[in-house]
Homo-oligomer: A and B are copies of this chain.
C-alpha cells in the first residue's frame, strides 16, 4: 500500500475539516495513522474521537500537544501542569503513541532563557509520574531556534536529549525535520537518541526558500531544501521504524481542498521521503 508508513498530522488540513472528516479523507487514501490536536479532539468530543479511532483501528502517532511550561507566576505554572496532566489522560484515552510537548518559550517580560529552560525541565519532571502511570510517553519536540522566544526554548535535539537524561524514564523526543535539519550536530544527536531508545516520533515537511512567514509557510515534502531521505536513514539507523508524520503549517496548503492536500502528501511521501 502506497501510504504504508505514512501518518497525517491533522494540523495539515485543520482549516479545511474537523476530526471526523479528516479521518475519512485519510482512510480514503489508505492512511491509517494520524496525529490529532487536542482542540480538534475537543471539538468533536473526546469519547466520540476515541470511538472513531478505535472502531477504525487507527494508529495515533502522537497527540498534539502538551507543554508551555514556563510562566511568570507560580499559579500559572501550576495551571500548566494541570493542563498537561489532562493532555496525558486524553492521550491515554485515544491510545496515542506519545504526547507531543511544545515546551514553551520565555514568560512574558522575561529575557532569561536559562530560567525558562529550567522551568521546562521542572515541568516535565512534575508531570512525568502521571505520564508513566498512564503509560503515555512524553515526546519533547525541539523547535527551530526561531521559535525560542515564543514557542519553545528547547531548540536542539541535543538539548532535548539532555532533558530526557535528566528526568529519566518516560520522556523521549519527536524529531521534526523542519526544526532540526540545519543542526550541524544532527547525525550525532540522532544516533545518541537511538542509543537512548528515545525516538518517539518522526515528523516531516520541507523548508521553503524563501520562507514568507515564520510559522505558516512550511513546505510540502520535495518543495524545499531538506534532505528528507538522508534524515530518515539516520533515524532508521538509530532504530526507529515508526511512521513518518506529515505536519505542514501552511497558508498555501490550508487554502486548498483537503483531498488534494492528502493526495499530494501520499505522492510526495512516495517520491521524496
Contact = CB atoms under 8 A, between A and B. Distances in A.
- Copies of this chain present: 2
Contacts of A149: 182, 207, 209, 224-225
In this complex, the member of A144, A149, A230 whose beta carbon has the largest number of chain B beta carbons within 10 angstroms is A149
> A-side binding surface: helix, strand, loop or mixed?
loop
B150 A210 contact: yes
Contact of A182 (B148, B184, B210, B211): B148
Contact of A112 (B150, B153, B227): B227
A218 interface: no
Given A113-B227, A146-B145, A227-B113, A184 B211 contact: no
Contacts of A113: 181-182, 227
Contacts of A182: 113, 145, 148-149, 153, 155
Contacts of A145: 144-146, 182-183
B209 A211 contact: no
Contacts of A211: 146, 214
A156 interface: yes
Interface string A132-145: 00000000000011
A159 interface: yes
Q: Which 4 A-B pairs have the closest CB atoms?
A: A148-B182, A145-B182, A111-B227, A146-B146
Given A106-B225, A111-B227, A145-B145, 20 more contacts: A106-B209, A110-B225, A111-B225, A111-B226, A111-B230, A112-B227, A113-B182, A144-B145, A145-B182, A146-B146, A149-B182, A150-B209, A155-B182, A155-B183, A155-B184, A156-B184, A158-B184, A159-B184, A210-B214, A211-B214
